[in-house]
Structure 1
Amino acid sequence: MSDGAGPAARENPAAFSSDDELGYLRSRTPFADGVPLTLDEPYRLAHLPLVSPAHPGVIARKDGRFYDMGRHPTVFSLVLPIDEAALAASAAFARLDAEIRRAPFAAKIAWDILPRRADRLHATLCGTISTVEAPVIDARTREAVSRIGSFTVEIRGLFSGNINRGRLYLRLYPERRDGTNPIHAIQTAFGRQPSDLYLVGLYNLVDDLDAEETAVLAALIERWWNEPLLRFEATGLWVLGARDDLVLDADLAEVLPLHAGPALSMPRLRP
């Protein structure tokens, strides 16, 4: 992936949003001694059918929800792309990934999913901006986004949330610019309320964890909570269409630059 993210500037390091301002602490899994981590209903409906379709806990479909074995009509969202090559080249991330691969729960991770998603890692900023057809973004919104300008982001990890238990994420911390969060400016440009969770879905479990495995995961999350994995400069956004929540079947509709000037080129996503 080459469009939408660039290397962070080495001079004048940015001050990043803190956990006091963001929602990660409020939204993390409430681990408790001796209590195993079980895959929750949202995960068993939207994610488990994609990574372990024969699992007895799969919810194939549910009244009032548009999932059918994890798939749904095309939903377009505004996302911040993550350069998988830059992440893979990070020594800190390599250490985290190696620790996860040695963990007692490693056999319960859907490792085959990672290469299929490598060119479409992202954090969603505005979900469901259109369905079925790609959105028509007006000139006023485009101009507002371009005026925001590029900004620095720090990736930290690891994270398990209080919903979608079974998916493990990395966390984004945007720079603070003149006391403000530039992601909020992006969301305002699209008419959305500011949010405080910017998560990069990475690992997926294929089964519940037992109490010992859960304790190892909880300790790993705690140990890596404040560790920076990668800093990069966000230079553009993607309008990404997907027919499942893991974006295994995804279309890149458009790249929106976070600056005035020529449009960014459109990377090709592997089928």
Structure 2
Amino acid sequence: MTRKIRLTDTVIDYLSIEEARRRPGLRLVLGAYTVPGPWREACKGIFHVKGIPYASVSTADPGRADGEFGMAGADSQLRDWTGQSSAPVAIWNDEKPCSTWIEQLQLAERLAPTPSLLPQGVDERALTFGLCHELAGRDGFGWTRRIGMIHDNLAGLADDHPSRAFWQHMAAKYGYTPDSGAAASARLAGIVRAFARRIEAQRDAGRRYLVGDRLSAVDIHWACFVGMISPMDEERCPMASSFRASYTNPYPEVQAALSPLLLEHRDFVYETHLELPVRF
């Protein structure tokens, strides 16, 4: 029987930002909530594969909730420390905070060169960066899926619905327009089709991974980002019940593009390389 999972049903021990700023070593600002944001999960996954220990950090100011997602200035300390308002952020000692996926990946490669998540060959390395960008970059899969979520919720919620303020907040953060929302499904489908072609070509060549013949950053990113249209079951991903519907694909065009091999690959990467169940 499906249980109701609250946004606050976390199991990780999170430091406050004030506590984290006093600590040396690696700290990951993740946010203390049971939402499998793909940037967050990919960042966790990269450092997990590398075997690099880190302290998890909340996002909200004292007396505020991480589940406010920065609304009404709830994240002023995060802004002061990192110069921006999103999670995840990776901070190593007193170095500049790494708030983008590529900075986080490069930090992990520097701290633990082995196992490398980037191919040695230039062509395959460039392909890995390009595919990761299609998932995690601006206007990529994750960004576009958020735009689609915003579009669908603003269209479907009454003006006085209590959740409307959150989606309006997200609309401002992601630069949403009705036109971008209407175009989201086609853009998502194009990206998914490209990954379907990629996994099929790799399987035909007798290879198990998306690039080359071993795990790379793009495998981790795909495993985490596909959860925005097909989340794992509650046993493997005990996410907030209130968010599961938003993380389920509503677009027939995207569903048609989603090869079963891509979901098999997600399962293989999690079962072989990442943490299960997902911990929040």
Q: TM-score, normalised by structure 2?
A: 0.29
More strand by share: 1
Q: TM-score, normalised by structure 1?
A: 0.29
**Structure with more relative contact order (C-alpha pairs < 8 Å, separation 6 or more):** 1
More helix by share: 2
